[in-house]
Chains A and B, each alone.
Chain A
């Protein structure tokens, strides 16, 4: 099946449940769908796996990281955490006094969070390890290639009371009917909002134990990075780059890492429960 379409920019879709592979022909205005011989399994058909990406990205497809997908009917537990140290490369993110750059500090937080999560038994994938700046879609694609994953994007704010940390969940998205198991790339987060909220509240609760004055529950914001992510996904934003001394942020690194690891561990059973109930698409 080959269809001509008018706009190749947004033609990226997610295959849910490994039912097919979608080929986006670079900048060409056509794509094709190959249906795999596996059973076409719609929402509500017993045990449902999290979304998997057939093909993502425009032209240069980011290589999916992590383990090869298992059979679509196998129940999967949460075992991968994709950590996204936001910004990097030509994008320094928020800049504070004394040359503090968000893009540098997020790497520091990610490194420590990785250690804490690995101690909890999770496999950790990072969207960048050096001073690169993958696109929003590239970063989402890394998460969308995983099965049994959550996604956490790490930020340092320009505002907020120094020493506090906020968790954000994506704002409401229009409901997506996963027709034939496919949801548009642009709305990949829509089916996961409920789970993202649970993960967000858990991580926020752990953070607030460490950092007094932080909110009690996750907040919502229209975060570009989360919208294209097909997994429970949250943003963690630390305040702030406007500190007198970078050491003030460095002191927060262990607490943030610990709170993320304990929050994700607390979320793990909720994720497993959501799988057979059909809460995931």
Chain B
């Protein structure tokens, strides 16, 4: 009799505690996943923030909470380098890391900034891992917002950058994910004027070919294509 009672208690107890236990295990797994993600991010973070750099109010552009078809600036206090290349890497890595509300991110979480340069004319070249192109939701709106979040963020924090060229794994690609054109540069400062990659040549002399041929060469081809 006492054995049966004990059994009943045991079964009841298991029934009550099993879901709680399962939830706890799920939570543990989730935390593990998060810390792995965190560890990976730290591993790939090419430019760690230097705490001795002055903390400035950086403006990061993610999706607007009120209207996800638009971007909105979020002020984040960050120790930013005064070197424009390091500073650009720092703000772009922060942009990639995403906002507190992950729904408002503009770039895929697994994308990595592999390299970043600024040419003498103010053209910045940002080289991203494949994930930028493969993990982003395909579409005109999503791809344009991704690019705009980068150009707006650079514009707000790195005045030396005049335009942005995006490469994927060191290569020029035709589009980001089927829609937005990555063969040209994007204006970063509104007064930057047309990119020298596409600016019309002045020469009118000779055959008509002079002009279009000049137009067809891109000075930012660093990849040896």
Given the known A-B contacts A10-B216, A221-B180, are A182 and B208 also in contact in the complex, defined by CB atoms under 8 Å?
yes
A136 and B216 form a contact (CB under 8 A) = no
B217 and A221 form a contact (CB under 8 A) = no
B208 and A179 form a contact (CB under 8 A) = yes
Query: Shortest CB–CB separation between residue B97 and chain A, in angstroms?
Result: 20
A187 and B137 form a contact (CB under 8 A) = no
Given the known A-B contacts A87-B178, A160-B69, are A222 and B184 also in contact in the complex, defined by CB atoms under 8 Å?
yes
Contacts of B140 in A (CB 8 A): 155, 157, 166, 168, 221, 223, 235, 237
A174 at the B interface (CB under 8 A): yes
A155 and B139 form a contact (CB under 8 A) = yes
A174 and B195 form a contact (CB under 8 A) = yes
Given the known A-B contacts A157-B139, A158-B139, A158-B142, are A91 and B216 also in contact in the complex, defined by CB atoms under 8 Å?
no
User: From residue 169 to 222 of chain B, which have CB atoms closer than 8 A to chain A?
Assistant: 174-175, 178-181, 183-184, 186, 194-195, 198-200, 204, 207-209, 211-213, 215-217
Most interface-central of B137, B145, B174, B186 (chain A CB within 10 A): B137
Given the known A-B contacts A179-B204, A179-B208, are A184 and B181 also in contact in the complex, defined by CB atoms under 8 Å?
no
- Pick the contact of B141: A93, A159, A174, A224 (CB < 8 A): A159
B215 and A186 form a contact (CB under 8 A) = yes
A3 and B207 form a contact (CB under 8 A) = yes
Contact bitstring A4-18, B, C-beta under 8 A = 1, else 0: 011100110100000
- Pick the contact of A224: B142, B179, B204 (CB < 8 A): B179
B144 at the A interface (CB under 8 A): yes
| Interface size grouping (class) on chain A | 35 or more
Query: Shortest CB–CB separation between residue A118 and chain B, in angstroms?
Result: 26
A177 at the B interface (CB under 8 A): yes
A279 at the B interface (CB under 8 A): no
Query: Shortest CB–CB separation between residue B223 and chain A, in angstroms?
Result: 14
B34 at the A interface (CB under 8 A): no
B86 at the A interface (CB under 8 A): no
Contacts of A95 in B (CB 8 A): 138
Contacts of B49 in A (CB 8 A): none
Most interface-central of A33, A176, A222, A235 (chain B CB within 10 A): A222
Contact bitstring B115-142, A, C-beta under 8 A = 1, else 0: 0000000000000000000000111111
A227 and B181 form a contact (CB under 8 A) = yes
A11 and B216 form a contact (CB under 8 A) = yes
A174 and B211 form a contact (CB under 8 A) = no
Looking across the interface, which residue of chain A has its beta carbon closest to that of B196?
A174
Looking across the interface, which residue of chain B has its beta carbon closest to that of A168?
B140
Looking across the interface, which residue of chain A has its beta carbon closest to that of B174?
A224
Contacts of B208 in A (CB 8 A): 33, 179-180, 182
- Pick the contact of A222: B137, B186, B212 (CB < 8 A): B186
A173 at the B interface (CB under 8 A): yes
Looking across the interface, which residue of chain B has its beta carbon closest to that of A164?
B69
Query: Shortest CB–CB separation between residue A81 and chain B, in angstroms?
Result: 20
Query: Shortest CB–CB separation between residue A97 and chain B, in angstroms?
Result: 12
Query: Shortest CB–CB separation between residue B135 and chain A, in angstroms?
Result: 11
Measured CA separation A173–B180 after assembly (Å): 14
- Pick the contact of A3: B137, B141, B142, B209 (CB < 8 A): B209
B68 at the A interface (CB under 8 A): yes
A158 and B144 form a contact (CB under 8 A) = no
B147 at the A interface (CB under 8 A): yes
A136 and B174 form a contact (CB under 8 A) = yes
Contacts of B194 in A (CB 8 A): 174-175
Query: Shortest CB–CB separation between residue A227 and chain B, in angstroms?
Result: 6
Measured CA separation A33–B206 after assembly (Å): 14
Measured CA separation A91–B209 after assembly (Å): 35
Q: List 25 interface pairs A-B (beta carbons < 8 Å), by A numbering.
A: A3-B207, A5-B213, A7-B217, A95-B138, A136-B174, A155-B139, A156-B139, A157-B140, A157-B141, A157-B142, A158-B137, A158-B138, A158-B139, A159-B139, A174-B198, A177-B200, A182-B212, A184-B215, A187-B215, A221-B143, A223-B140, A223-B179, A224-B175, A235-B140, A237-B140
14 further interface pairs, Cβ-Cβ under 8 Å (given A10-B216, A33-B209, A155-B139):
A33-B208, A87-B178, A94-B137, A157-B139, A160-B141, A166-B140, A175-B194, A179-B211, A182-B208, A182-B212, A215-B69, A222-B147, A222-B180, A224-B174
Closest A-B pairs by Cβ, 9 of them:
A158-B137, A157-B139, A174-B194, A180-B208, A224-B181, A221-B144, A10-B216, A184-B212, A94-B138
